[in-house]
Amino acid sequence: MTCVVVGAGLTGLSAAWELIRAGTEVIVLESERRAGGVVVTERREGFIVEGGPDGFLAAEPDIQALARELGIGDRLVDQMAKGAMVWTGKRLEPLAEGHAAELLGIQVPTDVGAVPAVVAAQHAAPLQGGFRSFAGGMGEITEALAARLGPIIRTSQGVTGIAPTARGWRLAVTGGSLLEANGVVLTVPTWVAARLLAAVGVPGARELDDVVYAPSVTASLAYRRDQLNGRLDGSGFVRAADTGGVVRACTYAWLKYPDRAPAGYALLRAFLEPADGDPAALAHRELASVLGLSGPPLLSRVFHWRRGLPRYKPGHAERVAHVRERLARLAPLDIAGAGFDGVGVSACVKSGREAAQRVLGRLGVDPGAPPRSQPSPGRSLRG
C-alpha cells in the first residue's frame, strides 16, 4: 500500500506523519529544494529570524499535540511581552484588544474554521491566552517532522499531473518520472490543486482557485539595544490607516519570544506594503522615526512571499466540501492545507492529519492502529 503526499509544507508533513504511523508506505513529493513550505526559521549569529509564521494561539491543540508526539513538547515557549500599540502618525498608543486585524484591513473568513487571530498574531495583536512558539523558532516543528520522515521526502520533485489507474493514481513528476499510488493527499496551494484536479475532470475543482493569496514582505532587522531610544511597550505595533508609510506593522521579536536575539541586542520584524525599493532600507527608515533608532541595522533579512496568506471568498467551505464529495467517488485522494481548511499552522496540522485519515479509511487501513516501523519507499515506474 503506497500513499503519496504532494507538497512538503507543514500540512503535507503532518499528513505524511499520520500515514507513516498507520504503517503505510509513503512518499512525499515537494517541488522546492527544501521541505517546510512557508515555515522558515533562519538562525544567524545568535538571532532567530522567522520568514513565515512566528507562533500560534496557545489555545490551539493540534500543533502542540504533534510537537509532543515528535518529542519536542518541551521546546514549546510562551509569548513574553503582551499587548500591542498603534502608530497614530505622531505617537504609539495602546491598542484595544483584537483591533490589529481590523486596522490592517484583514478579512476574517466567516464560513470556515480559519483562525483570524493567526493573522492578528503576525501583527502583534493581544489575544486572551496569548501565543506560543518553539524555543528555536517555528522551523523546529517542520525540521522535526522532516527528520522523522527522512528520505521519503523527495525535494525538487513537483507533481505536474495526476491520472486515475485501476489501482489508484499515477502521478507525473518534473523530469518525466511517474509514480503509482493507492492513495494521494494533495497539500499544495489551491491554484495548483485546482489545475491538477480540473485536468482529471473533478467537477468544481476550478472554483478552488477562487482563493486569493496575498503577497507578504517582511524585513527582520537586528540592532544593538543601545541603538533603541528608550523602552518599547507590548510586543509590537500596527500602523493606523491613513498615516502613510510602507510598514503596516512591526513585531518586537526579541521581546515577544525568548532568545530571539543575543543579550544586548534587539530584533525587529516589519511587515511591509508592496513598494518599490529595498524593503530592509524602507523598513529601517520608517522604524527609525517611529521607534527612535540610531544608526543602521547590524543585519537584515527580507522574506518575500509572492503568494503568502490565503484569503477565502464567501462560500469557500461549501466549494471545498463539494470537491471533497466528488473526490469520494474516485480512488482515494484528498485535499488539505491552508488554502482549504484554515490558514493557521495548527489548522494546517489538523487538516493534513484528517485528510490522511480519510485516505487511510478509504484504503481500509485503521488510522488508530499502533505505529509501525517505517517501510521502504514506494515503487518508481520510470526515471
Ligand X SMILES: Cc1cc2nc3c(=O)[nH]c(=O)nc-3n(C[C@H](O)[C@H](O)[C@H](O)COP(=O)(O)OP(=O)(O)OC[C@H]3O[C@@H](n4cnc5c(N)ncnc54)[C@H](O)[C@@H]3O)c2cc1C
Q: From 255, 247, 304, select the one nearest 271 (Cα to Cα).
A: 247
Are the C-beta atoms of 377 and 28 separated by less than 8 Å?
A: no
The residue with cell 544608526 is 295
What is residue 359's three-state secondary structure? helix
Among 48, 118, 208, 232, binds ligand X (CB under 6 A): 118
Among 80, 305, 362, 377, binds ligand X (CB under 6 A): 305
Separation CA 115–CA 118 (nearest Å): 6
Helices in the chain by DSSP H: which ranges?
10-21, 61-69, 99-103, 116-122, 139-149, 190-199, 253-256, 279-291, 316-327, 338-341, 345-362
Among 27, 67, 104, 188, binds ligand X (CB under 6 A): 188
Among 3, 9, 41, 283, binds ligand X (CB under 6 A): 9
Of 16 and 188, which CB lies nearer to ligand X in the complex structure?
A: 188
DSSP annotation of 128 reads: T
| Side-chain-side CA neighbours of residue 256 (13 Å) | 30
Min dist CB 117 to ligand X, Å, is 8
Rounded to 10 deg, the angle between the 61-69 and 10-21 helix axes is 50
Contacts with ligand X, 19-58, as mask; x by CB under 6 A: ----------xxxx----xxx------------xxxxx--
Site stretch for ligand X (CB under 6 A), options 19-27, 252-260, 337-345, 355-363: 337-345
139 forms part of the interface with ligand X (CB under 6 A): no
Min dist CB 191 to ligand X, Å, is 9
Of 36 and 367, which CB lies nearer to ligand X in the complex structure?
A: 36
Among 64, 79, 190, 216, binds ligand X (CB under 6 A): 216
Of 10 and 293, which CB lies nearer to ligand X in the complex structure?
A: 10
Among 3, 4, 5, 6, binds ligand X (CB under 6 A): 6
Of 194 and 343, which CB lies nearer to ligand X in the complex structure?
A: 343
Separation CA 114–CA 118 (nearest Å): 9
Min dist CB 122 to ligand X, Å, is 5
Site stretch for ligand X (CB under 6 A), options 3-11, 78-86, 90-98, 356-364: 3-11
For 189-215, give one letter per residue: b (16+ CB within 10 A) or e. bbbbbbbbbbeeebebbebbbbbebee
Residue 250 forms beta bridges with which residues?
237, 270
Site stretch for ligand X (CB under 6 A), options 201-209, 247-255, 304-312, 361-369: 304-312
Contacts with ligand X, 148-177, as mask; x by CB under 6 A: ----------xx------------------
φ/ψ bin of 288: left (φ > 0), alpha (ψ from -120 to 50), beta (otherwise): alpha
Q: Point out which residues bind ligand X (CB under 6 A).
A: 6-12, 29-32, 37-39, 52-56, 118, 121-122, 158-159, 187-189, 192, 216, 305, 308-309, 337-338, 343-345, 348
